[in-house]
Every structure is written in C-alpha cells, then in structure tokens.
C-alpha cells in the first residue's frame, strides 16, 4: 500500500525511538560487564556510559580468578551454576518434549486424552507459587531438593503444556496421506509414528524444543525454592553475588547476566517464526 513520505519519516523516527529505549537496559549491562571495578560506581557527571578501560576481569572473577582490584576470589564460582542451568533446563526440555509430543500425537491421531488440552491450559494458568508448598514437601520426600534432576522434573511438568499444544498444532497441520501410505505398506502404527511422522516433524520438534529450553532457562522462582547450594541455577547464584565486604558486585553480576542472556536471545531469534505459535498455545500460526 502506498504511504506518504511524511508517514515514512514518522515510521522510522518512532521505531528508532522505541528501539533506543528498548536497547538501553541491555547495552548498559553489556557496558557494565566490561568495566573495571573503578568505573562501576561512577555517578553524576562522571557517569561512564561506555567502559574507558575495557577489561575481562569481571568474567575472570566469576570463574574463580582473583584480580588485583577485587577483594578476594569467589568461594563458589559460576561454573557450577551454569552447569546446573544447562542440565536442569536441558533435561526438563527432554521430559516436556517426550511426554508432550507423544500425548499430542495420541490425541491428534487416535482421539485419546481428550481431557489434556484443558487440564494443561489450567496447569499453565496457575501461579507456580500457588502449588509450591506441596511440591517442596514432595521433592523433599523424594530426595530431589537441591538436585538438577529435581529441577529438571518440575521444569518438564511446568513446560509440558507448551510442548503438548505446540506439537498438537503441528500434528493437526500435517497431512495424513503419507502416514496412510506407510500403513498400507504394512508398517505398524508405532513404526509409522517413529519412522515416518517424527522424522517429518524434525523442524517442528527442533523449534519447539528450543522454545521450551528458553522457558526453562528463564526460570528463577522454582530454582529459588528447590535449590539451596550445590545446584543453584544462574539467576539464583547471581543474586548471591554481593557481600557485606564488597557490596553489590555490579560488574560481576553484569558479566554473569550477559552469559545468561545470550543463549535465549540467539535461540529466540532463530525460532522467531514459531514464537507466536508457542506463546499463544498454537492459537495463532504465522
């Protein structure tokens, strides 16, 4: 549609203004992550927008190296929390995808589990905080407190609704002729599912898994309640990065925040076409 020049100017100006506001917080964190300790607390007229003496000290510090400026080396480094986040979010994704994909196929093809769509929407609806007391008791009983397995299990359940709904819309969209042809060839239903349907769904499976990984990776509250020391995840560990001796370790936190923020942003941009489908429970496909 033709638009006037005036509109084009307005459009670029408005988008530029919005982008500027929306990028400032991220850019500030990036800048902070590369600032030496002397520049962290710069204020007022001395406010350092961009590191004057860029350094990797903050990154070295959170991985256990003591630098001359920092008081002392960390007792617990960021390596373990990063591993905890990777393991719990990764295996949580596996659980959600396995249970969600098979259930979605069962419902989409054989009409089983008619109660699942609504049950899973409701599961998504409830604030996790409102079921955490029983979950904490159950996890303590099962010996799953402060373990990545325990986190992976709850992540798998919490993101199951997304896996189920996403895969259901993909299965509903998939033409059945190919499956039918394989059935005619004499394949069993199970073989058709494993050898014909799933391979065809590879792109859908990949984007759904990435989407669910982002959700799991982003959790803070559940890890805060279910981990105590050995398997705290990145966000929980990050909050502990301040001490009475040093105060807020701005630069160190920013460095860790940057490490935490990069994977989901890259994955999110990679699957941006599927984001709408995932976020709206498949109600909207692009």
Beta strands in 133-244 (DSSP E): 242-243
Q: Is 50 in the site for other proteins (CB under 8 A)?
A: no
Q: Note whether 155 and 92 are within 8 A (CB).
A: yes
Q: Which is nearer to other proteins, 18 or 206 (CB)?
A: 18
Q: How many residues interact with other proteins (rule CB under 8 A)?
A: 102
d(CA 270, CA 253): 26
Q: Note whether 177 and 244 are within 8 A (CB).
A: no
Exactly one of 79, 203, 247, 268 binds other proteins (CB under 8 A); that residue is: 268
Q: Which stretch binds other proteins (CB under 8 A): 52-60, 69-77, 202-210, 252-260?
A: 252-260
For 178-216, b/e burial (b = at least 16 CB within 10 A) is: ebeebeeeebeeeebbeebbeeebeebbebbbbbbbbbb
Residue 3 tokens read as 């638009």
Q: Which stretch binds other proteins (CB under 8 A): 51-59, 60-68, 195-203, 263-271?
A: 263-271
Q: Is 149 in the site for other proteins (CB under 8 A)?
A: no
Q: Which is nearer to other proteins, 71 or 221 (CB)?
A: 221
Q: Is 99 in the site for other proteins (CB under 8 A)?
A: yes
Q: Is 254 in the site for other proteins (CB under 8 A)?
A: yes
Q: Which is nearer to other proteins, 118 or 245 (CB)?
A: 118
d(CA 241, CA 271): 32
d(CA 246, CA 237): 16
Q: Which residues, numbered 114-143, are part of the site for other proteins (CB under 8 A)?
A: 116, 118-135, 137-138
Q: Which is nearer to other proteins, 66 or 188 (CB)?
A: 188
Q: Is 20 in the site for other proteins (CB under 8 A)?
A: no
Cβ neighbours around 133 below 10 Å, total: 10
Q: Which is nearer to other proteins, 68 or 233 (CB)?
A: 233
Which residues contact residue 7 at a Cβ distance below 8 angstroms, ignoring those fewer than 6 apart? Answer: none
Q: Which residues, numbered 190-219, are part of the site for other proteins (CB under 8 A)?
A: 190, 193, 214, 217-218
Q: How far is the CB of 60 from other proteins (least distance, A)?
A: 20
């Amino acid at each position: 549609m033709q638009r006037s020049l005036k509109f084009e100017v307005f459009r670029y100006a408005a988008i530029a203004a919005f982008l500027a506001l929306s990028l400032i917080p991220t850019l500030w964190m990036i800048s902070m992550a590369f600032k030496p300790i002397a520049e962290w607390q710069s204020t007022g007229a001395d406010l350092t927008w961009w590191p004057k003496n860029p350094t990797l000290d903050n990154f070295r510090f959170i991985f256990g190296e003591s630098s001359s400026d920092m008081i002392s080396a960390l007792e617990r480094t960021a390596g373990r929390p990063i591993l905890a986040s990777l393991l719990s979010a990764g295996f949580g994704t596996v659980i959600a995808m396995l249970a969600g994909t098979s259930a979605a196929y069962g419902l989409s093809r054989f009409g089983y589990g008619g109660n699942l769509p609504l049950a899973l929407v409701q599961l998504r609806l409830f604030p996790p905080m409102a079921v955490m007391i029983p979950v904490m008791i159950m996890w303590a009983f099962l010996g799953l407190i402060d373990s990545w397995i325990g986190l992976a299990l709850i992540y798998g359940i919490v993101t199951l609704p997304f896996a189920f709904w996403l895969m259901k819309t993909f299965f509903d969209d998939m033409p059945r002729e190919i499956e039918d042809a394989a059935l005619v060839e004499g394949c069993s239903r199970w073989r058709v599912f494993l050898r014909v349907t799933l391979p065809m769904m590879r792109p859908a499976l990949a984007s759904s898994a990435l989407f669910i990984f982002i959700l799991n990776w982003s959790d803070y509250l559940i890890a805060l309640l279910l981990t105590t020391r050995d398997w705290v995840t990145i966000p929980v560990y990050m909050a502990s990065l301040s001490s009475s001796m040093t105060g807020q370790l701005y630069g160190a936190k920013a460095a860790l925040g940057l490490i935490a923020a990069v994977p989901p942003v890259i994955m999110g941009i990679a699957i941006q076409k599927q984001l709408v489908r995932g976020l709206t429970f498949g109600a909207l496909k692009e």
